[in-house]
Amino acid sequence: MTEEKLQVCEDDDVLVRTKGLAKTYGNKKVLEDVDLEIKKGKIYGFIGKNGSGKTTTMRLILGLCKPSKGSVEISKDIKRSDISAVIEYPAFFPNMDAVTNMVTQCKALGVKNPKKVSCALLSLMGLNPKDRSKVKNFSLGMKQRLAIAMSLICKNDSSQPASNDSEGDKEVEKNSSDEDKGSSNENPTESLTNAEVNTDTEADLSLPDLQYPSVLLLDEPINGLDPEGIKEIREIILHLNREKGVTFLISSHILGELEKISTGFIVICNGKLAAQFDAKDLRKKVKGCIRLKTNNNSKAVEILINDLSISNYRTEDGEILIFDEGINTSDITKKMVENDLIIESINSETGNYEDYFIKLMGGN
């Protein structure tokens, strides 16, 4: 295995770039020649089948594993420690409550006012800092919220350099594993008292100490959430992006949710980059159409061509499918009526984004 090549990206608008990124485990190629860019201020939907290499790509960006080939470039304006993530199964101390987990993480990262910051971030994620329930008793959705809240904790500049991040992560995972085995007395921080929490539950989200990561990688962030919870997470992501300048790379199998918030898409298939494009380009790639059926389709086609200058159309199953942009159903209806044709049906259809993405991912 080659040494990791963490390089500086000089482009002003690119925070992370990979070049020829590859990862092999034994004889299995997980990633191969992946070139992608994460630009400042965008929300990327990261799309691919299970096992396509999404999580491995995120781990490589974070430095949690080394590439077999290729490199990761980080913007000259940020450090690797400015990139945070929720990947796979986040590590908690299961016998602690949420706020104590948060404070422990804050102290480990050298964050000032750890209680206030912890309470503010829990409130932002819709978790009550006063709730003393142990994390092991949380629902999956509550654990997802806590994981995102913990990912928003940023290291102070005086903390250790980013090159030591992976060692720190290993230590946290080890501690969490010990907790799962019942070593609850090994906790590095005693649970906070209600009095200690109560003094900080009204913490202002505009605290000067409340910093946010430059880039946040989220692996299936809405897993286990009900519809209301999904909506809340969506609004939080949009708030952090628009108001706090956080850039996102979000993997999810719920394409409809990604379409609602993403300003760009990265599609990976069998370990290779299939496509990367802006949301505005998606609308061009996946064109909608108008479906028209009349009592005389042959004459209707002549009217479409001669009177409305329509050229992009086809006939299918007794209907005329019109793909020209800038034409609407009212214009077509008016011309058909003027030429004494009876319209049996006419409706607009938006493009099928789901089919388009499935095709990019190698599906049928």
From the CB of residue 358, how many other CB atoms can be counted at a distance below 10 Å? 15
Question: Structure tokens of 136?
Answer: 């092991």
What Cα–Cα distance (Å) separates residue 300 from each residue in 141, 143, 271, 304, 317? 54, 58, 48, 6, 15
Using alpha carbons, list the distances in angstroms from residue 58 to 87, 175, 216, 267, 319: 8, 23, 10, 13, 46
Question: To which residue do tokens 């913007």 refer?
Answer: 75
Determine which of 182-196, 237-251, 330-344 has the lowest per-residue pLDDT on average. Answer: 182-196
pTM of the prediction? Answer: 0.73
Q: CB of 52 within 8 A of CB of 268?
A: yes
pLDDT in tens, 244-276: 999 999 998 888 889 899 999 999 999 999 999
Supply φ then ψ for residue 357, to 5 degrees.
-65, -40
* pLDDT tens digits, one per residue of 106-136: 999 888 889 999 999 999 888 999 999 999 9
Backbone φ, ψ for residue 29 (5° rounding): -85, 115
For the chain, domains (ranges, CATH) are: 6-283 (3.40.50.300), 288-356 (3.30.70.100)
Q: Is residue 245 classed exposed, middle or buried when 0-12, 13-18 and 19+ CB atoms within 10 A define those classes?
A: exposed
pLDDT in tens, 142-160: 898 999 999 999 876 543 3
Confidence class for position 298, pLDDT limits 50, 70, 90: very high
